[in-house]
Structure 1
Amino acid sequence: MIKTRWSRQSIYFKLTIFVILIIIFQALLLTGAMLIGGVLSRARENAYQSFSEKVSNRQETIEREMKNRWTNVDPYLIQIAGVLSDYPEQKEFFDAVAKDLIAMLRTTQTTGAFIILDEPNAAEVGNPVLYIRDYDPMLNDVGNKDLYMVHGPSELAKSLKIPLDQTWGYYLKLTDDNRAFFDQPYRNASLTFNAGLLGYWSLPFQLSPNDLPIVTYTMPLFNADYELRGIIGVEVSLNYLNQYLSGTDLQRRDSMGYLIAYSKSEESHLKPVITSGALQKRMIRETEPLLLTRVHSELNMFTIENHDSAEPIYACLERIGLYHLNTPFEGEEWYLVGMMTEGSLLSFVQRIQRILSASLVISILIGIAGGIFISYGVSRPIVKLAKQVRESSGEKNLQLNATGLLEVDELAMAMEAANNSLLDTALRMSRIIDLVEVPIGAFEIRENSDGVFVTDQLWHLLDVDIEERNLLIKDKAAFRKKLDQIFRCPEEGEPNVYVLSKEELCWLKIKITQWEKDVLGIVMDVTAEMLEKKQIKADRDRDPLTGILNRKAFQEELKHQMSEKQAGTAALLMFDLDNLKKVNDAHGHQFGDQYILHAVEMLKTIAKQHQMVLGRRSGDEFVLLLHHFSNRQAIRECVNSFFNRLQNVAIGLPDGSHKPVTLSGGLMWLEGPDQDYEEALKLADEALYQAKRSGKESWCEKG
């Protein structure tokens, strides 16, 4: 019922699909109008624009701090250069400029300020240095209690009442890991005496393994006579710099925040150099360059491909302008990179998409519900009518109830008339067949009908009871299954004849023809004909006295057995009854026949029935085929066992005495189906007469 209702050809299915398609079309029309109107693209563009503006504002803040505040060294550079000329000795020089260096530290609001001098023996003992650090630039103590001396004379720290840092050293030992901030401005000092044009921002590094990571801004230090003496600069610790990389403006919670990336002009990739936040450090691979795919060229919007986040990460890049054109370090570019996950950046876009998707799903559900409701009301009377037709008996006139739908009721009346006319025709045909008194039945399986049209005689021929009849006549699949069961038992050598197991065996002849997509069949009872054929065959192939195969039938069976692919080891044996003539002369041919029958019964015990074929060649000669043995020795043992048993077998004579049943035998080995039967029989006969000459009651083999 359900399968039929949801068939693509049913009214129920078509009405439901029609209503669903209308509602889906309306939903798609509304969704398409919103998409064409640019709702999603506009929302995505707004998200990109907002993201870009926040990154741009943060870039301006950081650039302003780095270019205007943290590098505001020039006012002190001139003064310190003059003091350097007045105090060429490093100790007096550091004593004289210490307060100026502290003032520079306070003014720039950095975490450290330093002067590093270059001396001839610096490579051995280290460079003379005055390095003062403020771990919290926003908190200024009048007595300088918040300052620490990282490098420099301890006597000077004591006079200034500044404690020594835990990583303090008198000199600064420059190594390959920490000397870039010194070498870069120092090596380029020959280009100009304007130290401001040679300012250099270093990448993050550590002064010593136990020191905190920092970035520095350094310039060459000239004395008043423009002699290069060292460098001067400030440091910004990464802890302090990270305060400017907080991503709360991008996302209040779980923000990816900002990072600073670096590249050289000859390099095409950006490498993260300053990262912030545990979430960012977990998601961004700091040891790898950023693999970027551009998504918006005007707003410098990209997606980061190499990350460890479960969802896409978007990045907005803004260049931090640190260097002037035509300066030594203009090729080194710093970028502020703002980052947001897709779920955070496009949350509003995704919300709109979810609303549109939910609307579409709800529309489909409403369409399904509405389609089912409408189509159910229309198709229910038709379904009831179809149920009546299916449940009606094929043997009675069809009577259908009114549905209340005019067109359907007219169709029902036409169906009643057609069915009743067909039933009358079938009944007349069945009566005509009954009058002929021929055991024949007929059936028809129609493509467009679930049931089967049959004549009354068919059920008797198929041996079907009333309960099974009612099932088969309504279900053509069950009827076909019934036919398949019959087709599994064909009669060998008789086309279209099958054995049907009843209380007594019977044979049916079934002829089937295909007419377009319908199947027509005739079933006839041919039991009498088959019994007659089998009796004729038995009379033709069997010896009248013993019932075993005669000479010709044995020869045919031998060819059949030896033609099998796996006939095994086989042998042909000739047997001759000893002293049959004496028995006939002494007691008559009737008792001689009993003697023969007794010998045949013994011969039947030589091997198992499926391993032997026994036939009568003439009056007292018998021929035996042994086949499907594993080897020759097995056949020899079988024959020896038979002759041993014969010694204990005797037949009672009419005079009350007993006479042993004795035979002589000759064996010839068979090699295959191509072996000549007459030749093999001749050799077996020779072996038989050899056994007789040796004293009878024995056997010999040949070949």
Structure 2
Amino acid sequence: MNHFKGSLLQRILIPILVVMLIEGILLCVVVFNSGTMEGLKGNAYDVFNEKVSGRSGTLENDMVGRWSAIESAAETIGDGIESFIEGEGITTADLTPDSSYTSKLLENLSEELIFRMRRNAVTGVFLILDGDGRDKKAGLYFRDSDPLTEASDNSDLQAVRAPASITKKLNIALNTNWLPYFQLTEGADGTEYYYEPFRTAIERPELKGTELGYWCPAFSMHGDTGGRESMILTYSLPVYSEGIPCGVMGIELNMDYLVKQIPARELSEDNYGSYILACKKSGSGDGEAEEYTVVARSGALINQLEGQSDVLSISKESYRKNFHSLLSPSSRQGAVHSCIHDLNLYERNAPFSGDRWVLIGIEEDYHLLSFFYEFERAILFILAVTILIGVAAAIIVARAVTKPIETLTYKLKMADPGSPIRLGELKIDEIDKLSGTIENLSREVADNAHKLEAILDMTGVSVGACEYTDRAEKKVYCSGDFCRLLDIPEEEMTGSYLPTSVMKKHMAELKARQVERDREAGLYILKFGKAEEERWVRLKVISEKGRILAVATDMTQEMQEKQKIEHDRDFDLLTGLYNRRAFYRQIEEVFMNKKRMAIGAMIMIDLDNLKYVNDTYGHDYGDEYIRTAARVLQSLDTRNSVVARLSGDEFLAFFYGSGNRDTVRHRMDQIYEMFKNTKIHLPDGTSIPVRASAGMAWYPDDGENYDELIRYADFAMYMVKKTNKGAVVEFNLESYSKESYLLQCKEELNTILEKGLVDYAFQPIVDARDGSVYAYEALMRPNTENIKSPDALLALARSQSKLQQIEKLTFFKGMEIFSKKEVAKTDCRIFLNSISNQVMTDKEIKEFQMKYSAYLSRLVIEFTEEERPDAELTKVKMRYFGDAKGMTALDDFGEGYNGESILLSMNPDFVKFDRSLIKNIHEDSKKQDLVAGLIAYCRENGAKTIAEGVECSMEMDMLIGMGIDYLQGYYIGRPTHFPGDIPEEIRQEIFQAAKTEIDFS
């Protein structure tokens, strides 16, 4: 291994620099990963968001609470129009621009309009009369360029649209684009502010007032010029006369006035950001971006963006609350942040509520996060300066430390080896101590040399060494236990030396004892003695420059422990047979040479009665039971077999090389005969024979790989445990095809129970009198790859003795899913299937009652027929849930275990007739007589009847006529995960059929 070699200065300087670098990195990690930097960013975003939020709130208050507060004015004008036309004896259709009536009416209404404009502090107000419905319409349109000042003589106003006689009388100047009337062609640009609210008022007469108010995005009045400064924003309401829309009244806000309400200078100190008032029409904006039409804007940034237009494209995805990426127009400087706040200008269900009005604050990344970037640069600058200062200080300190050592080195180099070394003092404690140590070193070396061998003896470790150098005397020095460890007779030694020739002879003899060797490393493992007295020696030989050094170490204990570990790794501690790992390794080697296998048999053996022995006499006798069985199997173990213990009471054996199956069967007969004749003696003075069940799969007929054979043998063993314990059963492919899932799905069953992987469909149970839904039956649907039906799940749980867990899963999961459905909010009942001979624990029942107490009075426990009923368990369920006013139902009556005896013992609230009684009942008079009698019996004993499996109208009509209480089946309603009402036509059919009842008396 190459070690770093350098000066003391380097050894001091480099660690210091490394430490400083680590400190710098830690500082960066703390600053940049502790949340500080993100906090700074977050503060910048939050401050910007608060500014936009505050401004949007102010703007929304002005738009909703001040500028658009014209509902009372619209009502006043509507009343004025209604009084006028009534007094003049005309209709609203007569209010055309050329009518003298119109001028008189407008003159009456002008003062109200001017008053509303000044009160609401808007830049304009208008009233448009629909008249005879043509494009040319009469009306008034006044503007006030400065709503904050007011002239009593109206000299500060302009008339945009009004008859000349009215403007002259009111002393109002004419606008450069003045006209005496409105020219409004429906569908033309700049007419939405009139037609949208007016048309909506006609189409939806049930709406009134502000529900019909319409904010029209920026547009230019027909005939205006001058670019964006001539754009206006309007809010308009329909005006009614005698309850019929006859015109529109509204207010105007010009862009100059609007811009003053969204001052961009408040966004940033350098006045670089921008406010944008924008609108997105309802139904627009499909895709990954939303496009907003600009209504008003303020600030420098919006005017400096590339590709500037009246449309903003903004990402729908939000990277922070209210923040979205501005896609276009874009900035040359980098990303532009847009903070969007909605303006709630409409009521929730208003016709124009789909139009989205927003106030957007935009700022370039560099300006928004300027403090963050400045702080980041400052941290990096401080880090760089700190590292530079640290490097300079480290160099100075290192030089101060190494200078005295260099002086000491020079004195040692110049000292006379033949004279006592006098180094003098350097006035540094550590270096002066080193000098004193060097002065005493030569004296101590000799004293310590002879102690080495004594120390080795005291350690108790058997270590010996020898050294050979190319000298004339040709002898080898040996120390410690070297000769003893290598079986070299002591009498051949002279003192501590051994002749070279003798050493070479013994070394040559050691080759026969080699177990392992590594020539490159000069390492050898040697074995001495017989099996009972094994001794292992490690010999390490090093040769360099004509000198050979050998060290021998006794490693007997280490090798014995290694052998024990290897044995324990492959053999079962209790029985001495192969364990699972060793079995698979051995069987894999066997299957690599299939030519010698001929006919083989994989046999899975499972001990019977082990649980009985453990539970009755304790696990010590259970272990003896296992060991006794293992000894029987070991007695028949040959070179053509592999036998192993897989787990507690399971053994696996593979016999191969047989000429025919009868040979293997004979061996199994021998094993079973020995089992019968082999007994274990128990503490009560009795003894029992060893019993086992086994499954056998043949090679190559059943399978050609061992995994497949093990699976088949396991299945055969499972079948014999299930049917005829204590026997040997050979694998049957037909049986496996039918029931293999019982083994293959063991873990899948555990997964279902642990994770509750079942869903429930709900089938309606309806009243046979009127077709109303009385209840829903919860039908389990396993939700895994291999187990698809409730029957398969129950069969698998039954084979694993886990029906009780299924019972718990049915109650808790079924009620959990039902409680989340909309129908749970109604008063309908819920039927839950219960396994007749299973019951939850008291703790589980109490937990269920507490968790679903709100539904217990509507719960109906439906006892299924899959298992033989248990009278005591049935009483427990009825007692627990009957106290909560729950009810019981007997399922599938007439099939399986659910017959007359259980009906008499249970006295259920509901009796559900099985499909076998219902099918084609309209064609079978015997079924009709039987069902009629059952219905009569149930009525006499206070039980309601339910017909299951109704699949056609004839069956349903017959059952209703016979007086059945409730109906259930595919014809009525199929099971669904989203339960609801049954089809109306089925309900009507039930209602009509219920009018007739067949007399079977």
TM-score, normalising length: structure 2: 0.36
Shift of 1:80: 0.7
Asked whether the 8 Å contact 1:323–1:329 carries over to 2, the reply is yes
Give CA-to-partner distance per residue, 1:555-603, whole Å, 9 cap, x none: xxxxxxxxxxxxxxxxxxxxxxxxxxxxxxxxxxxxxxxxxxxxxxxxx
Alpha-carbon separation, structure 2, partners of 1:148 and 1:320: 31
Alpha-carbon separation, structure 1, partners of 2:414 and 2:191: 103
**Aligned match of 1:103:** 115
In structure 2, the CA distance between the partners of 1:288 and 1:97, relative to structure 1 (3 Å rule), is: closer
**How does 1:221-370 map onto structure 2 within 5 Å?**
221-223=239-241, 225-268=242-285, 269-273=290-294, 274-283=296-305, 285-292=308-315, 296-297=319-320, 299-306=321-328, 307-370=330-393
Alpha-carbon separation, structure 1, partners of 2:414 and 2:180: 114
Alpha-carbon separation, structure 2, partners of 1:241 and 1:55: 16
Shift of 1:262: 1.9
Corresponding position: 1:156 with 2:156? no
**How does 1:124-523 map onto structure 2 within 5 Å?**
126-175=136-185, 176-190=188-202, 191-192=204-205, 194-211=208-225, 212-223=230-241, 225-268=242-285, 269-273=290-294, 274-283=296-305, 285-292=308-315, 296-297=319-320, 299-306=321-328, 307-374=330-397, 404-407=406-409
Corresponding position: 1:80 with 2:97? no
Shift of 1:143: 1.4
Give CA-to-partner distance per residue, 1:293-334, whole Å, 9 cap, x none: 75654x312332431240332221110001112211010010
Letter in 1 for 2:408: L
Corresponding position: 1:64 with 2:61? yes
Alpha-carbon separation, structure 2, partners of 1:305 and 1:320: 22
**Aligned match of 1:118:** 130
Give CA-to-partner distance per residue, 1:606-649, whole Å, 9 cap, x none: xxxxxxxxxxxxxxxxxxxxxxxxxxxxxxxxxxxxxxxxxxxx
Alpha-carbon separation, structure 1, partners of 2:40 and 2:20: 27
Asked whether the 8 Å contact 2:273–2:300 carries over to 1, the reply is no
Shift of 1:95: 0.8
Secondary structure of 2:384's counterpart equals helix
Q: Which has the larger radius of gyration?
A: 1
Identity of aligned residues (%): 26
**How does 1:543-558 map onto structure 2 within 5 Å?**
none
In structure 2, the CA distance between the partners of 1:149 and 1:287, relative to structure 1 (3 Å rule), is: closer
**How does 1:527-542 map onto structure 2 within 5 Å?**
none
Give CA-to-partner distance per residue, 1:115-170, whole Å, 9 cap, x none: 112244733xx322210000111111111111100111111101000000111112
Alpha-carbon separation, structure 1, partners of 2:414 and 2:103: 121
Give CA-to-partner distance per residue, 1:203-241, whole Å, 9 cap, x none: 100002534100100111211x12222211001111101
Asked whether the 8 Å contact 1:293–1:305 carries over to 2, the reply is no
Letter in 2 for 1:196: T
**Aligned match of 2:509:** none
Secondary structure of 2:169's counterpart equals helix
In structure 2, the CA distance between the partners of 1:404 and 1:372, relative to structure 1 (3 Å rule), is: closer
Shift of 1:341: 2.5
Alpha-carbon separation, structure 2, partners of 1:250 and 1:202: 27
Alpha-carbon separation, structure 2, partners of 1:357 and 1:92: 79
Alpha-carbon separation, structure 2, partners of 1:104 and 1:138: 14
Asked whether the 8 Å contact 2:264–2:298 carries over to 1, the reply is no
Letter in 2 for 1:130: L
Secondary structure of 2:220's counterpart equals coil
Letter in 1 for 2:341: E
Alpha-carbon separation, structure 2, partners of 1:8 and 1:135: 88
Asked whether the 8 Å contact 1:304–1:315 carries over to 2, the reply is yes
Asked whether the 8 Å contact 2:125–2:250 carries over to 1, the reply is yes
Give CA-to-partner distance per residue, 1:349-377, whole Å, 9 cap, x none: 22321221112111222233234445566
Asked whether the 8 Å contact 2:336–2:362 carries over to 1, the reply is yes
Secondary structure of 1:95's counterpart equals helix
Between 1 and 2, higher relative CO (CA 8 Å, sep ≥ 6) is seen in: 1
Alpha-carbon separation, structure 1, partners of 2:79 and 2:291: 41
In structure 2, the CA distance between the partners of 1:118 and 1:294, relative to structure 1 (3 Å rule), is: same
Asked whether the 8 Å contact 1:258–1:336 carries over to 2, the reply is yes
**How does 1:9-88 map onto structure 2 within 5 Å?**
16-85=13-82, 86-87=84-85, 88=95
In structure 2, the CA distance between the partners of 1:294 and 1:10, relative to structure 1 (3 Å rule), is: farther
In structure 2, the CA distance between the partners of 1:303 and 1:360, relative to structure 1 (3 Å rule), is: farther
Secondary structure of 2:62's counterpart equals helix
Alpha-carbon separation, structure 1, partners of 2:195 and 2:151: 33
Shift of 1:258: 1.1
Alpha-carbon separation, structure 2, partners of 1:106 and 1:371: 79
C-alpha root-mean-square deviation of aligned residues, in Å? Answer: 2.8
Secondary structure of 1:204's counterpart equals strand
Letter in 2 for 1:352: F
For structure 2, the residue ranges without an aligned partner over 5 or more in a row are: 86-94, 96-100, 417-1001
For structure 1, the residue ranges without an aligned partner over 5 or more in a row are: 1-6, 382-401, 415-703
Alpha-carbon separation, structure 1, partners of 2:313 and 2:169: 49
In structure 2, the CA distance between the partners of 1:42 and 1:410, relative to structure 1 (3 Å rule), is: same
Alpha-carbon separation, structure 2, partners of 1:245 and 1:166: 28
In structure 2, the CA distance between the partners of 1:292 and 1:132, relative to structure 1 (3 Å rule), is: same
TM-score, normalising length: structure 1: 0.51
In structure 2, the CA distance between the partners of 1:368 and 1:171, relative to structure 1 (3 Å rule), is: same
In structure 2, the CA distance between the partners of 1:247 and 1:120, relative to structure 1 (3 Å rule), is: same
Asked whether the 8 Å contact 1:27–1:359 carries over to 2, the reply is no
Letter in 2 for 1:149: A
Aligned residues: 383
Give CA-to-partner distance per residue, 1:28-86, whole Å, 9 cap, x none: 32343344542222222222222222111111100000001111112211211122121
